[in-house]
Amino acid sequence: MNGDAVDGASASSLGGRPPRVFLSYAHNDDESSDLVRRFYEFLGIECGIDAVFDRVAAQSPQDWTAWMIRQMKEADFIL
């Protein structure tokens, strides 16, 4: 990935910031959950995308519904 665009969203169209991607997959531990975590890490580390993963946030006590709504509103993409 060259960082110029993600599905038509360029850094310039996002105000010079990286796209924000919200990944929602807070399920029981299983092989698929591990794959989603690795994809989340790939997006953030390898691609420089501002990725948020609900599985990571689920480890902290908070108002889960309010947190999810805020993440969906702030995301450019939801997976």
Higher pLDDT, 72 or 55: 72
pLDDT tens, 5-60?
A: 455 555 557 788 999 999 988 666 677 888 888 999 999 999 999 999 887 666 67
Q: Does 54 reside within a domain?
A: yes
pLDDT over threshold 50, residue 1: no
Phi and psi, residue 8, nearest 5°: 90, -5
Q: Contact 18/11 with Cβ under 8 angstroms?
A: yes
Q: Does 70 reside within a domain?
A: yes
Q: Does 11 reside within a domain?
A: no
Q: Which domain holds residue 62?
A: 17-78
Q: How far apart are CA 62 and CA 14, in angstroms?
A: 29
Q: Does 1 reside within a domain?
A: no
Q: How many CA atoms lie within 13 A of 51 on its CB side?
A: 22
Domains contained in the chain, number: 1
Q: Does 23 reside within a domain?
A: yes
Q: Does 50 reside within a domain?
A: yes
